Amino acid sequence: MLMVKGENWTAYMSQFWRLVGPNDKLYASAVPGIPGGHRRNRIYGRLDCSAVLCAIAPGGDVNHCVFFPTEERAQAAGYRPCAVCLPMAYAS
């Protein structure tokens, strides 16, 4: 097991992505998730979505941004699809 302490912890964790599992618990992953989400709004979408880009623009709140390995995982965690970038999934 790798133990990292002190100042090295921040540098070590910056190499990982915060992903959300089906139990809504955060975990670190070396592989980025494709769908991104907002923990407070419980919504997920594509990372190139205009609504997402607007939310993370300067002054936006990125502290609630999370990522999922798949759309199925996002839905299992209780997130709904974005109406802007995933209209077909949103409608169903």
State the Cα angle at 77 between 63 and 29, rounded to 5°.
60
Q: Which residue has the tokens 């910056």?
A: 14
Q: Worst-scoring range by mean pLDDT, 12-16, 33-37, 55-59, 67-71?
A: 12-16
> In this structure, what are the phi and psi dihedrals at residue 72, rounded to the nearest 5 degrees?
-60, -40
Task: Write down all domains in the chain, each with its CATH number in brackets.
Answer: 17-91 (3.40.10)
Per residue in 7-47, pLDDT (tens digit) is: 454 454 456 677 777 676 777 777 666 788 888 888 888 87
Where residue 69 falls among pLDDT bands split at 50, 70, 90?
confident
What pLDDT is recorded for position 12? 46
Helices and strands, counts by H and E, the chain: 4, 6
pTM (two decimals): 0.65
8-state DSSP, 58: T
